[in-house]
Amino acid sequence: MIILKSKREIEIMREGGSILYNILSDLLKEVKEGVESSYLNILAEELMENYNAKPAFKGYRGYPYSICVSINDEVIHGFPIKEKVFKEGDVVSIDIGIIYKGYYTDMAYSVPVGEVDDEKRKLLETGEKILFQGISEATIGNRIGNISNTIETNALKNGYSVVKEFIGHGVGKKLHEEPEVPNFGSKDNGPILKEGMVIAIEPMICMGKGDVYVANDGWTVKTKDGKISVHFEHTVVITNNGPSILTLPGKQNER
């Protein structure tokens, strides 16, 4: 069942989303050559505590960390471990969620380590652009499929593929709620978008075919062809004035 959020709930999630944006922004500043990804997990937990927020991921279905750090051919759910050290030219994706005043928000961004080649730069820029193209379809009366189709169409148009095994989702009282928000499909499919729906839109865009597998750690999702992937995500509420991104600073995107 899709649960519509009240104005009070949305304001709490907006506050939490602003906090999440600030935390992720601080983490992304630390993505530099020689930094151990485990440091980002420690820093994330410290920042969450400072904001009176709790990690949404730690303990979820047994996941052992507070954030996910995925590098290059790792699509999602990568462990932030000491052995994983950032190198010049890497593409790093950080996925993070928090619980604030009982409500979940979810966000992810991919960034380069130092200088990257033109191919990686284009993938990063296009992946972020595709996220916002998908968000633009999150309007009352559209169907989830409008978001899904826009993401897939723009990925294919740029010579990329989308991961189909993992998808976006509703979010709020739980980390994963209905509806599912795939990154592929036809325009007229899925639930109709209504005011008060809150969804996490999260395209995973690959240079290669988009086929993936789960590594031996039981969590890390990697591309089968070993090619680079990026992951971008915002938590978005459907309003009478169009989509409003909750995971942005302050009331920057309030409508």
Instruction: Give the model confidence (pLDDT) of 177-196 as tens digits.
Output: 999 999 999 998 999 999 99
Is the predicted pLDDT of residue 31 greater than 70, yes or no?
yes
Mean pLDDT, range 25-41, rounded to an integer: 98
Q: Tell me, what's the pLDDT at 178? A: 97
Mean pLDDT, range 144-151, rounded to an integer: 98
Is the predicted pLDDT of residue 252 greater than 80, yes or no?
no
Q: Is residue 240 part of a domain?
A: yes
**For 113, which DSSP code?**
S
Are 246 and 236 spatial neighbours (Cβ–Cβ below 8 Å)?
Answer: yes
Q: What is the CATH number of the domain that holds 41?
A: 3.90.230.10
Q: Is residue 201 part of a domain?
A: yes
pTM above threshold 0.85: yes
What confidence tier does 250 reach under pLDDT thresholds 50, 70, 90? low
Q: Tell me, what's the pLDDT at 251? A: 53
What confidence tier does 95 reach under pLDDT thresholds 50, 70, 90? very high
Is the predicted pLDDT of residue 254 greater than 90, yes or no?
no
pLDDT in tens, 105-116: 999 999 999 999
Distance CA 97, CA 117 (A): 30
Q: Tell me, what's the pLDDT at 241? A: 94
Share of the chain above pLDDT 90, in %: 97
Q: Is residue 106 part of a domain?
A: yes
Give the residue carrying structure tokens 């309007």.
Answer: 139
Are 193 and 238 spatial neighbours (Cβ–Cβ below 8 Å)?
Answer: yes
- Sequence letter at residue 100: Y
Number of domains in the chain: 1
pLDDT in tens, 61-85: 999 999 999 999 999 999 999 999 9
Q: Could you tell me the two tokens for 110?
A: 């991919």
Radius of gyration of the chain (CA): 17
Is the predicted pLDDT of residue 255 greater than 50, yes or no?
no
Phi first, then psi: give them for residue 207, nearest 5 degrees: -65, -35
Q: Is residue 108 part of a domain?
A: yes
Q: Counting runs of H as helices and runs of E as strands, what totals does the chain give?
A: 4, 15
Q: Tell me, what's the pLDDT at 249? A: 86
* Alpha-helical runs (H) found in 136-242: 144-157
Average pLDDT, whole number, for the chain?
96
Q: Is residue 251 part of a domain?
A: no
Q: Is residue 101 part of a domain?
A: yes
Q: Is residue 2 part of a domain?
A: no
Mean pLDDT, range 18-39, rounded to an integer: 98
Structural domain including 220 reads 7-245
| Choice among 86-100, 166-180, 198-212, 237-251 with the minimum mean pLDDT | 237-251
Q: Is residue 1 part of a domain?
A: no
Give the residue carrying structure tokens 């997990």.
Answer: 41
